[in-house]
Amino acid sequence: MTTRILVVDDEPRYVRLMEANLTTEGYQVLKAYDGQNAVEIVAEKQPDLVLLDVMMPGLNGFSACERIREFSNVPIIMVTAKGEEQDRVRGLDVGADDYIVKPFSATELLARVRAVLRRAIVSGSSFQQAVFNHSNLQIDLARAEVFKDEKMVFLSATEYRLLLQFVHNLGNILTSEDLLVNVWGPEYREDKEILWVSISRLRQKLEDDPRNPQHIVTRSGLGYTMPPY
């Protein structure tokens, strides 16, 4: 089966360049010109590898990489024109597998692609469903959209990150410290008031009866959980 590679760059000339080099080596190339479209293609087409440009308007490469990692372990190579260490480190921190700096040669591009694909075969690339359902809630992980009874619910960025903690740990109990560290950062590990307020706001938006929650349930003395249904 032909290996499919998604090339993402808002500059068509770079897309054409990478496409020409990759097709010469027998790869099938999918194309996207912005971050949001890239996330949607990954969810729909499930490519074998993504070459993801960093500097794009709207949803940039870092944000697109984070969004993809919510539902997919597809290998990602970040493509950056800056070449600064902080950008390379940030790309790896948000879930990229490797990076390549513009301008690059066809030889370097193909070597990086082969290396990352080899590692993916060893580790096993896997996709989760891009849409998560929990009773009357539906969460589109590719679009970062939440629906309750088929009506969109507007969450703040922090509320959405908090909700994702429960989605990715379905059925597990998360302590207050777990949630504070993973959503706000280690410096907030003792700030339980901000968590209580955020949980309350999330329940107001997601629960039919916030005082008798079904999606985010308190386990007295332990923490919080999203029960599996």
Kindly tell me the number of DSSP H helices and DSSP E strands found in the chain.
Answer: 8, 11
37 within 8 A of 59, measured Cβ to Cβ: no
Pick the CATH number of 131-225 from 3.60.20.30, 1.20.1270.10, 2.30.330.10, 1.10.10.10: 1.10.10.10
DSSP 82: S
178 CB contacts (<8 Å, ≥6 apart)? Answer: 165, 223
Cα distances (Å, whole numbers) of residue 96 to 36, 123, 142, 181, 204: 17, 15, 17, 22, 35
Helix (H) or strand (E) holding 138: strand 137-140
Share the mean pLDDT of the chain.
90
pLDDT of residue 33: 96
CATH class of 4-123: alpha beta
Residue 118 has a pLDDT of: 85
User: pLDDT of 96-129, one tens digit each?
Assistant: 888 898 889 999 999 999 988 887 765 554 556 7
Domain boundaries in the chain? 4-123, 131-225
What are 184-193's pLDDT values in tens digits?
A: 888 888 888 9
What are the pLDDT tens digits along the chain (229 aa)? 789 999 999 999 999 999 999 999 999 999 999 999 999 999 999 999 999 999 998 899 999 999 998 888 889 999 987 666 677 778 888 888 888 988 899 999 999 999 888 877 655 545 567 889 999 999 998 888 999 999 999 888 789 989 999 998 999 999 999 999 988 888 888 888 999 999 999 999 999 999 999 999 999 999 999 999 7
The pTM (predicted TM-score) of the whole model is 0.72
pLDDT of res. 127? 56
62: Cβ contacts below 8 Å, ≥ 6 apart: 54, 90, 91, 94
